[in-house]
Structure 1
Amino acid sequence: MSTDSTASVSTHVLDTSVGRPARGVPVRLAARAGCEDDWRALGGSATDADGRCKDLPEPPEGTTHVRLDFEVERYFEQDPATTAQRAEARQDAPANRDGETFFPEVAVTFAVRPGEHYHVPLLLNPFGYSVYRGS
């Protein structure tokens, strides 16, 4: 949990191409204290069976910006069950070849304030994604 001097961050990833959580997506967290400052890598995790990262590190005091880096290409390459489901769902879309991922990485940068929690879900498919501030 965050204190009054820090923010906390959580995320989860949903694979909208198969309608289920995305398990095993590596996620890294970085922070900086201002727009002109360098990013500081804080660590990372991978999504669990429910598509959630429950153990991301807490940003340090003074953080104003956070970046979540999702390694989605690895997810799309690793899960043969969902790869088969995606291939079946795309039979009418010849431009979408099996295993092809247009966005191999997704970087989401957002501003934070001390004492607040930020839940940032990623809705994902091989050719697009969407993010929002959740609760």
Structure 2
Amino acid sequence: MSQITTHILDTALGQPASAVPLALFQLQDNEWTELSSGVTNDDGRIAGLLAADHVLPAGTYRMHFDTSAYFSNRDLDVFYPYVDVVFNLDDSGEHYHIPLLLSPFGYSTYRGS
């Protein structure tokens, strides 16, 4: 399993948010470097965002969710065109799950397991 995983749920519809583009970035020398990207599947997840054996070093990372694409594809108004979740990793190599609960006019996130 990828060290970083995500699951996006559309709380307004009560179902997974499919076809949401997202990208994972690492902060290096005050610049964001893209590490990986993909689009969520029918279950609102991306399998293999990172290779299973890839361990990220300690540092600051950002998950960029393109909510504009998701809501525009459903002919809904877009209030938050994207969601950036910035988080710190330690050097333990443990798994980090970054869920996103999404609705047209709000969102929340937390560190899952």
TM-score computed with the length of structure 2 as normaliser: 0.87
| Aligned with residue 120 of structure 1, among 95, 98, 105 | 98
In the alignment, structure 1 residue 101 sits paired with structure 2 residue 50: no
Aligned Cα root-mean-square deviation (Å): 1.9
Displacement, 1:38? 1.8
Partners of 1:38 and 1:62 lie apart in 2 by 16
SS at match of 1:107: strand
Partners of 1:129 and 1:32 lie apart in 2 by 23
- The structure richer in strand per residue is 2
In the alignment, structure 1 residue 66 sits paired with structure 2 residue 43: no
- Structure 2 residue aligned with 1:27: 22
- Structure 2 residue aligned with 1:45: 38
2:8/2:99 contact within 8 Å kept: yes
1:29/1:57 contact within 8 Å kept: no
Displacement, 1:77? 1.5
Instruction: Give the greater-gyration-radius structure (CA).
Output: 1
Displacement, 1:113? 1.6
The number of equivalent residue pairs is: 110
TM-score computed with the length of structure 1 as normaliser: 0.74
Partner amino acid for 1:121?
P
| Aligned with residue 57 of structure 1, among 50, 60, 68 | 50
Displacement, 1:55? 2.1
Structure 1 gap ranges (5+): 3-7, 84-98
Distance verdict in 2 for CA 1:24–1:9, change over 3 Å: same
Structure 2 gap ranges (5+): none
Percentage of matched positions with identical amino acids: 43
2:4/2:49 contact within 8 Å kept: yes
Partner amino acid for 1:108?
V
2:57/2:89 contact within 8 Å kept: no
- The structure richer in helix per residue is 1
CA offsets 1:88-113 (integer angstroms, 9 cap, x no match) = xxxxxxxxxxx211101000000012
Partner amino acid for 2:36?
G
